[in-house]
Amino acid sequence: MVLIANPAAGRGRGGRLLPAVRALLATSGVTDVRLTDGPGDERRLAREAAAEGVATIIALGGDGTWGQAARGILESRRDTRLALLVAGTGNDFAYALGLPVHDVRRMVDIALGTNEQRVDVGVVDGLAFLNVAGFGFETSVLEAAPRLPLLRGHLRYVATALPQLFTYRAIEAQIRFEDGREATGKFLALIMANGPRFGGGFRVAPGASVRDGQLDFLTVRDGNVIRRAALFARVRFGTHAAEPEVALRRVREVRIQFQDPPLMDVDGELVRAGAAELDITCMPRALRVACGVRIE
């Protein structure tokens, strides 16, 4: 086993947890610890560890760290198991797996154990994602989030998002579904969800499962500020699906044409797409992940 740790995760929470995690792992003989030096380092470290034949990569961080580690494992073409240790701000993928995110000792026990499940992985513009990929309003929120460094989780997301309800400019897109149907117009948000929530607790796709071989695709057409606020409040509690601006579909693949290469939210990290036309697909059961109960 190898521990890949992002000390900067959760605005330094990863670094604060690292001594305790090291000590807990060392009692079971796990002493190979590899630290990230900068953004995206988890991907390289995971790819190298998997290529070396490491059986389990334990990733200390949040959704971004876990997504990067998953990319590295998949790029290695090894069937390496990924285990999560929580130190991020949202930690939404851990929620999707039902992990005890507030109990470090139990999370370490799960990482050291043998129980696992195979989970689906989404791919957008060649980048794998574990929890969510999105366009539109949420990317604007993520851009502004560093201005509120003292808040975390959903509180930070809410405080950042509220001013954006007044200033955000909708994105124009043409969507082609796998059955040939199309949707065109101005959208407040386009979100491909593997797990049920994002932003530290926003239930964007309450029925989503990481094991159903599909992605839950949420499209939200734009409206005035009052409608934007109403939709934002409903997404927080997962009651938005019946709103007239909202459509929620389960898909295996979809193609989206934008006017220009869009800014994307990929597991909580901002990435500029390489093209204006993007294919988004689901890779069923592509990754082994440690969990509390064995699931075949």
Catalytic residues: 269
Contact at 8 Å (CB) between 74 and 47? no
Tell me how far apart the alpha carbons of residues 134 and 136 are, in angstroms, rounded to a whole number.
7
C-alpha distances in Å from residue 163, one per residue of 97, 159, 264: 32, 8, 20
Neighbours of 247 (CB within 10 A): 14
Tell me how far apart the alpha carbons of residues 210 and 216 are, in angstroms, rounded to a whole number.
10
Residues 6+ apart with CB under 8 A from 13: 87, 88
Residue 131 phi/psi, 5° resolution? -115, -50
Contact at 8 Å (CB) between 111 and 58? yes
Tell me how far apart the alpha carbons of residues 195 and 4 are, in angstroms, rounded to a whole number.
23
For the record, the structure tokens of 128 come out as 């794998």
Tell me how far apart the alpha carbons of residues 87 and 85 are, in angstroms, rounded to a whole number.
7
For the record, the structure tokens of 188 come out as 């407040």
Q: Measured in whole angstroms, how far is the alpha carbon of residue 45 from the centre of its chain?
A: 19
Q: Measured in whole angstroms, how far is the alpha carbon of residue 84 from the centre of its chain?
A: 13
Crossing angle between the packed helical segments 63-76 and 9-26, to the nearest 10 degrees:
60
